[in-house]
Amino acid sequence: MRILLAPMEGLLDHSLRDALTRVGGIDHCVSEFIRVTDQLLPERVFTRIVPELLNGGRTAAGTPVRGQLLGSDPACLADNAARLASLGTGGVDLNFGCPAAIVNRHRGGAVLLDEPELVHAIVVAVRRAVPPAQPVTAKMRIGNRDESRMLDCARAIESAGAAELVVHARTKVQGYRPPAYWDRIAAIRAAVAMPVVANGEIWTAGDARRCRAESGCDALMLGRGIVADPGLALALRGAAVPSWSELLPVLAHFWQRIAGHVAPRHRAGRLKQWLNLLRRRHPEAQAAYDMVRTVNDPRAVGALLFGS
């Protein structure tokens, strides 16, 4: 079984990728999207969002990271994909799944699923621009407003040369509301020959078993589920999972990491965001969350939780 770490704008950035891959069990990561509009982005934009490019395209734990691009201009995406590839990414991923309204209004993410011809043109252009040794992959939802073009989009992505497709089993309109419709992924698997990865609403090992059974996928992409339970990938592999006391040093390392790139006024919020999800699976996280819930001074938060 292959386990991928999902991109999650505003949550799962390089600091959290570093923390979660230290826990283990993840085969590779996909970065949060790099927005491409009408210009070739400077290298510093890529390395700011994917600093793992400065470490051979891997997290500190050695897990490969694939940079993700989002946009709607095939030629501009191709130029930026070539630059990203030159920086040593473990491949180029294309975002056809972001449900954010501001992204969709600017013709990016899941709204493109209404235009399979454009989706095809984007993948073709990027595949031509990226060296053959580096895979081009894509992530999509099962639709924008509905599922009517789901199979058209999957076939367009495959015929354009993508090596793999991740499918989040909800439409844009359904957002992140449960349930995820894993059986729709099975329909996509039946329509294409390329590898398909299932994503959406996988919070526990039981969810993973049901997802694999309904989707037919062996490979899974984990998002909020592994943020809430950093040992989830290990659990899926039948390995020992970390206790809360073993996770505390990981949280402390995360806290140190975000101090290097997050403005002081936002640091406490980033830690509370993670603790808020952790308490879904770790009762001990509730006490930590309560301790800092109303505290915003980074020094006070550090002293309360980590003694520093």
Contact 258, 271 (CB under 8 A): yes
Q: Give the C-alpha separation, 84 to 95, whole Å.
A: 15
Q: Give the C-alpha separation, 89 to 83, whole Å.
A: 10
Contact 220, 197 (CB under 8 A): yes
DSSP state of 112: G
DSSP state of 136: E
The letter for the amino acid at 88 is: G
Q: Which residues contact 112 (CB under 8 A, 6 or more apart)?
A: 72, 96, 118, 119, 122, 144
Q: Which residues contact 49 (CB under 8 A, 6 or more apart)?
A: 13, 14, 31, 32, 34, 67
**Residue keyed to tokens 């694939």:** 66
What DSSP letter does each residue of 235-287 carry, written as one string?
HHTT-----HHHHHHHHHHHHHHHTTTS-HHHHHHHHHHHHHHHTTT-THHHH
> Catalytic pick from 29, 76, 98, 217?
98
76: annotated active-site residue: no
Q: Which residues contact 290 (CB under 8 A, 6 or more apart)?
A: none
Q: How many residues does the chain have?
A: 308
**Active site positions, annotated:** 98
